[in-house]
Amino acid sequence: MLSLLIILTLGILPLIFWNLIRTKKGLYSNFDVSIRSQRKSMYLFILILALLVLLALWTNGQPDAVLIGSAILIQLLCFAFVINYKSKVSLHVAITIFTAFGFWEINPWIAIGLWISSPFIAWSRWQLKRHQPEELIWGLLLGLVCGIEILAFI
């Protein structure tokens, strides 16, 4: 429960407010930050938040599996940030698949549900014209590589 509270308060909620404020100011064209050039500032902010979350998890004595999973998520975000210079990555797809692997040891049913939902998430991102197929494939590949990595280390 403490891990979830840390992730929500230091990671997810600040990102929501960041995107909302920057969208309202016109710095982002939409809340999803769909334009690749606008994503650079978002990635930097996400990486700062992820490092703060990892530090908070570590200082609060969270299990090694949580710390390793958080570090691998930071790796996923770093790869996405680098790829962003040439192509966009669907973070929705990448994080859904990665999270499914992370849940495998905790609750396989949640993992299976996430894997089953990932094609629908990809389809919705394509239908909303937020991503092209290549960007969805990047998300799939990043989610798979980092997801398999989490299983290997935990």
In 36-83, at which residue ranges do the beta strands (DSSP E only) sit?
none
| pLDDT value, residue 34 | 85
Using one digit for the tens of pLDDT, what is the confidence trace for 66-112?
Answer: 999 999 999 999 999 999 999 999 999 999 999 999 999 999 999 99
H/E stretch holding 106 reads none
Two tokens at 68? 């390793």
The pTM for the full model equals 0.90
Residue 43 in contact with residue 74, Cβ under 8 Å? no
Using one digit for the tens of pLDDT, what is the confidence trace for 4-41?
Answer: 999 999 999 999 999 999 999 999 999 989 888 899 99
Three-class SS state of 85: coil
How crowded is residue 99: how many other Cβ atoms within 10 Å of its Cβ? Answer: 20
| pLDDT value, residue 27 | 94
Signed CA dihedral, 112, 124, 15, 75: sign only: positive
Residues 6+ apart with CB under 8 A from 69: 102, 150, 154
